[in-house]
Structures are given as C-alpha cells and as structure tokens.
Amino acid sequence: MIFTLRPSAGGAVLALPLVRRTRDPFQGHWALPGGWLDAAEGLDAAASRTLAETTGLTASYLEQLYAFGDVDRSTTRVVSIVYWALLRQDEVDAQRAAHDAAGDAPENVAWSAVEDLPALAFDHNQIITYALWRLRNKVGYSRIAHGLLPDEFTLAELREVNESILGRRLDPANFRRQAEASGTLIPTDRFRTGSHRPARLYRYDVAVELAERGPLSAPPESDHPVPHRIEE
C-alpha cells in the first residue's frame, strides 16, 4: 500500500495506487497491488518486487503493516502480509515519467483518493480502512509525515501534511510548539521565501529515525539515506 498526497482543489488529499485484476476471483475489480511470495524470497523483498511488478513504483523503505488471514477472505486460503510506504507526489511523478520514457509503464494501474474508493476485490477496502486508522493515529507532530515532505520543509508545510492526513485543521501555534518540542526536527539556516514572510526550513533528525527502526534495521539504501518510516 502506497500513500501519497495529491494536490486537489480543496487542499491535498491522500491517494493510493490500485491495480485492476485481470483474472478471477474478482476479475475486472480494482485491488491493492500485490502478489505471491517466492520460495527463495524474504517478506520485505517480495513486497518490493510485487509493488514494482504491478505498479512500477519503488519505495526506499516498505514497512510491514499487518497480516490479514481470515478464512473466507478469498476463494482459496490466502494470508496477506501487507506492507506500506509513503511517497511524495514528485517521486511518484518522476518514477512515472521514467517508465513512460522507457516505454514500460505498467497497465491497469490507477490512483484513487482514499475518500473516493470503489468497491475493491477481497477485503481490500477493510485493509485500507485499517491502514488509514493506523496512519491517523500516529500522525500528530511525529515523523510520520516525513515520507511526504522534501528533505527540508517549513513548519507550515509539515502542518499541512498532517492536516491532509487527519482531514481537519490544526491550530498553527499549538502545532509549532509541539513540533519544536518533539526533539526530532533540526532547524537549518535556510528560509523559504516567496509571497509570505520568510519561513525557516527544518529537516528531520536522521539519527533518531534510524534508531527507531530498532532490531529490524537494515542498512539504508545507498541512493536514499533516509528511509521513509511510517511508525515503529
């Protein structure tokens, strides 16, 4: 499951890619991207591979969300170990452009706003409901918004990401106070300038980020030093 924030008229909205099923059960229905675990493949690797094969997307760090295994969730007995990641819209766009240039853009993929989902195959609507609940529970002023922000960001940008995930406005002064007290943001010497008064740029404390992955930590990808962490 990949979440991104997509610009829209009323502010950014959470969206995720769906894949149209080309065979039964649920042929023609939309579903979460996924696939089968290979015999010689770890869970994390299978999540990355099936995501890439179905959507063309890669994420620097996919995190295990939950294993769903109700007896009647498919026509045969299927246990789905669901992974998720947050991707910035510009990362999604760049990956899409690269596939278009290479002529290997995947078919049968479409992005849907989470508030406007069709009836999906299997229990996938319920899985998304669970993921959104986890996402909204964790968001507050925490690092969770990290995966949807550039490396440096203003506190207003951080707040807007949080507001989009939560679907409600946050008090700017309270948010600023909590964010500054969180111990996870490092102020830079740079400022965002534009039509508003200059706003200081912040970045996340990578040391905190990596420590929080704990015993499951893997060496960060060489091409992306900061994994996009949703929660521990």
Q: Which residues pair with 4 in a beta bridge?
A: 15
Contact status: 214 vs its own copies (CB under 8 A): yes
Letter string b/e over residues 124-138, b meaning 16 or more CB atoms within 10 A of that residue's CB: beebbebbbebbbee
Stretch that binds its own copies, among 27-35, 114-122, 188-196, 214-222 (CB under 8 A): 214-222
Contact status: 115 vs its own copies (CB under 8 A): no
Look at the alpha carbons of 146, 147, 152, 154 in this order and tell me if their dihedral is positive or negative. Answer: negative
Q: Which of residues 138-197 bind its own copies (CB under 8 A)?
A: none
Q: Which secondary-structure segment (H or E) carries 199?
A: strand 199-204
**Shortest distance, position 131 Cβ to its own copies, whole Å:** 9
Contact status: 74 vs its own copies (CB under 8 A): no
| Cα separation, 109 vs 159, whole angstroms | 30
Contact status: 126 vs its own copies (CB under 8 A): yes
Contact status: 8 vs its own copies (CB under 8 A): no
Contact status: 10 vs its own copies (CB under 8 A): no
| Cα separation, 218 vs 214, whole angstroms | 9
Task: Give contact residues for its own copies (rule: CB under 8 A).
Answer: 37, 39-43, 64, 66-71, 77, 79, 81, 126, 129-130, 133-134, 137, 212, 214-216, 232
